[in-house]
Structure 1
Amino acid sequence: MGFLGSFLNLVVPPSAAVTLLLVWPVLALYKTMMWWLSWVLYEDMRGKVVLITGASSGIGEHIAYEYAKKGARLALVGRRENLLMEVADRAITRGASDVKVLVGDVTKEADCKRFLEETIQKYGRLDHLVNNAGVAHSFFFSETKDLKALTSTLDTTFWGQVYMTYFAIPHLRRTHGKVLVMASTASWLPYPRQTLYNAGKAGVLAFFDTLRVEVGDVIGITIVMPGWIESEITKGKFIHEDGDIWTDQMERDMHIGPVPVTSVTECANAAVKGVIRGSHYVTVPFYYSAFLLYRMFAPEVLDWIFRLIFVKHPQKPLSKQVLKASEVHRVLYPTSIQKAD
């Protein structure tokens, strides 16, 4: 490393700390002022065009309803046409001025290109892109039986967002539009049994943080960091070690354990409010932000907690035992994802 490297190692950390202490009060005041202004100067979505992936259920579905209440025109993307049509009908009743259904798969480049082309052909513009589509897996990395279980997770969770953004950027530049990104607190929490999902979400976070630096003067980017949210995933729909997808609530109980699950309406409402106000990040629920401090300053504590609750005794982890021994899930889980008695 040499003398220069040793000198920088000695000087830069304390200098950076002192600079942060000096800058932080000014930055905090600026952010507070901008937050108050955002309540007055938020974006009017009436007549604007919003393309939403993963819109057939869960967070994507309810984000569609939030935009509908604001009078937006919607392009809904998903693989299940029957569910998309139902969401479209409900969006119209909630105030959407028009809705177009686009059936396809975000893991396919050709489909992503078609989604944008058909949206522009119908509406002539794009104002917001909502990258929401994602899938999760529930098995330890060492238990993988078929590599498609890993590739399919990344194809949807990471590459689907990259493809959609690539084709959307030229249109968003014209409208000074925005991208609403569904990342996850899993991007910085070492949650077991979802190694590739965590990696994919970390990639999403890094990709859009960097893209904001590149295009942020023209295109706004809001990154949402949800914890466990009421959805098909928290109902137990996972990719399993052989690459197949099915719903297993016993697997869900072992995977999520005694962790509160936030309502999907709360998440969708916070996400849409965040993007129309120009927020860089939205964490739902907000208390997950505290774990980021542990990740930065005491990662060993998080490692120990997750290993204790989810990894030790893998067939009967503490996470599952706590739920089985009590009725705590009735308090922690929304009724829509609770097991039938």
Structure 2
Amino acid sequence: MAAIEKLLNVALPPLSFLLLSTFMLPFLLFKILLYVRKLVAHTDENLEDKVVLITGAASGIGEQLAYAYGRRGALLSLVDIRKDKLEIVADKAKSLGSPDVTIIAADVSKLQDCHRFVDHTVNHFGRLDCLVNNAGIGKPSEFKDWSNHDSEFTPIMDVNFWGSVYGSLCAIPHLKTSKGRIIVVASALGWFPLPGSSIYNASKAAVINYFETLRMELGWAIGITIVTPGLVKTDLGFKLTKKESIMGIVPMALASELAESIVKSGCRGDMYLTEPSWVKVLFPLKVLYPQVVDWASRFCFGLSPKSIN
């Protein structure tokens, strides 16, 4: 076994480089052809009378998603822990074109609540076509902010990760019947973490990893679109820029524009959506030059051995 491991250590790196060099050009051409085909022949999925369940729909991206789907005539099931704000969103979504909107006050971090809002949706509309796992919370925090009390930070993982997992597990049987789709709103910080949001970054990395695995396990039964936005003009985005002044120079996307992109991406059946698109450039930098990225992050955020004492 040791000999095999040594052989793999020596042989695989150059072999993988050779394979990548050989297949990169054909793969890029294939991607270009697919892109052109989508531009020329593809039409957006008709969402009229499709049932869309959106979590975290009382504000931010979730609120804008309700309006975007409503304009396309979708039937909406809106979930949030703040029912009073859901009522306002529901009324506006109806005025924009949604034939029917039901609202459910629920905590996505509780499995029983997830069963309840999925069952309510199916009982009300008779089906479920799309689940949008959008509910999320965050708090800028460094390791030195940890006070040995988990009550301040565990809700971030409970809502961001388990909230998406629980809702999906409850919805999957119904989505299989309708051949529907799961859309999960993660974050670019899940694969390009920045200082000052360690727990939030970790929760979004877990979301990305889980749903990539789930997509493999489900095969073609249910489509899954993983959304990894950059900074967005939401309460959470403003919290981050307020704590870290350097983040103020990063352009922030509008939640309404992101919501439109998410709806279109789901209709196209995309595996991933990263908005704004320039954020995609950061991924190869992280993979190919991790030392440079770490150094640049420490420099930009003013981190040094003295700053963490």
Q: TM-score, normalised by structure 1?
A: 0.84
SS in 2 for 1:50: strand
In the alignment, which residue of structure 2 is the partner of 1:295?
286
Kindly report which structure 2 residues correspond to 1:5-84, keeping only aligned pairs within 5 A, or say none.
5-39=5-39, 40-84=42-86
SS in 2 for 1:33: helix
SS in 1 for 2:46: coil
* Shift, 1:64, TM fit: 1.2
Does structure 2 retain, via aligned residues, the 8 Å contact 1:192–1:311? no
In the alignment, which residue of structure 1 is the partner of 2:272?
281
Q: Deviations over 1:48-94 (max 9, x none)?
A: 00000010011111111111111110000001112111111111111
Task: Find the aligned partners of 2:97 and 2:38 in 1 and give their Cα distance.
Answer: 23
Task: Find the aligned partners of 1:85 and 1:235 in 2 and give their Cα distance.
Answer: 25
Task: Find the aligned partners of 1:24 and 1:179 in 2 and give their Cα distance.
Answer: 30
Task: Find the aligned partners of 1:45 and 1:31 in 2 and give their Cα distance.
Answer: 26
Task: Find the aligned partners of 1:250 and 1:170 in 2 and give their Cα distance.
Answer: 42
Q: Which among 225, 229, 239 is matched to residue 226 of structure 1?
A: 229
Q: Deviations over 1:138-162 (max 9, x none)?
A: 1212221231122111001111000
Task: Find the aligned partners of 2:198 and 2:204 in 1 and give their Cα distance.
Answer: 10
In the alignment, which residue of structure 1 is the partner of 2:4?
4
Q: Which moved more, 1:47-56 or 1:19-28?
A: 19-28
Does structure 1 retain, via aligned residues, the 8 Å contact 2:139–2:236? no
Mark the runs of 5 or more structure 1 residues left unpaired by the alignment: 239-248, 317-341
More helix by share: 2
Task: Find the aligned partners of 2:38 and 2:89 in 1 and give their Cα distance.
Answer: 29
Task: Find the aligned partners of 1:27 and 1:69 in 2 and give their Cα distance.
Answer: 37
* Shift, 1:313, TM fit: 7.7
Q: Which among 206, 215, 230 is matched to residue 212 of structure 1?
A: 215
SS in 2 for 1:77: strand
- CA 1:134–1:192 in structure 2 vs 1: closer, same or farther (change >3 Å)? same
- CA 1:255–1:168 in structure 2 vs 1: closer, same or farther (change >3 Å)? farther
Task: Name the % identity.
Answer: 38
Task: Find the aligned partners of 1:49 and 1:92 in 2 and give their Cα distance.
Answer: 14
SS in 1 for 2:285: helix
Matched, 1:308 2:304: no
Matched, 1:179 2:182: yes
Q: Deviations over 1:116-149 (max 9, x none)?
A: 0000000111100000011111121222123112
In the alignment, which residue of structure 1 is the partner of 2:192?
189
- CA 1:298–1:313 in structure 2 vs 1: closer, same or farther (change >3 Å)? closer
SS in 1 for 2:238: coil
Task: Find the aligned partners of 1:180 and 1:272 in 2 and give their Cα distance.
Answer: 9
Letter in 1 for 2:21: L
Kindly report which structure 2 residues correspond to 1:130-145, keeping only aligned pairs within 5 A, or say none.
130-145=132-147
Letter in 1 for 2:161: F
In the alignment, which residue of structure 2 is the partner of 1:167?
170
Task: Find the aligned partners of 2:113 and 2:26 in 1 and give their Cα distance.
Answer: 46
Q: Which among 65, 74, 96 is matched to residue 94 of structure 1?
A: 96
* Shift, 1:189, TM fit: 1.6
Matched, 1:264 2:266: no
Task: Find the aligned partners of 2:228 and 2:11 in 1 and give their Cα distance.
Answer: 34
Q: Which among 111, 114, 117 is matched to residue 112 of structure 1?
A: 114
The count of corresponding residues between Structure 1 and Structure 2 is: 305
Task: Find the aligned partners of 1:38 and 1:220 in 2 and give their Cα distance.
Answer: 17
SS in 2 for 1:125: coil
In the alignment, which residue of structure 2 is the partner of 1:129?
131
Task: Find the aligned partners of 2:233 and 2:143 in 1 and give their Cα distance.
Answer: 25
* Shift, 1:256, TM fit: 3.2
* Shift, 1:255, TM fit: 7.5
Q: TM-score, normalised by structure 2?
A: 0.92
SS in 1 for 2:224: strand
Task: Find the aligned partners of 2:124 and 2:144 in 1 and give their Cα distance.
Answer: 47
Q: Deviations over 1:196-247 (max 9, x none)?
A: 11111000000011111111311000001101001111232x8xxxxxxxxx
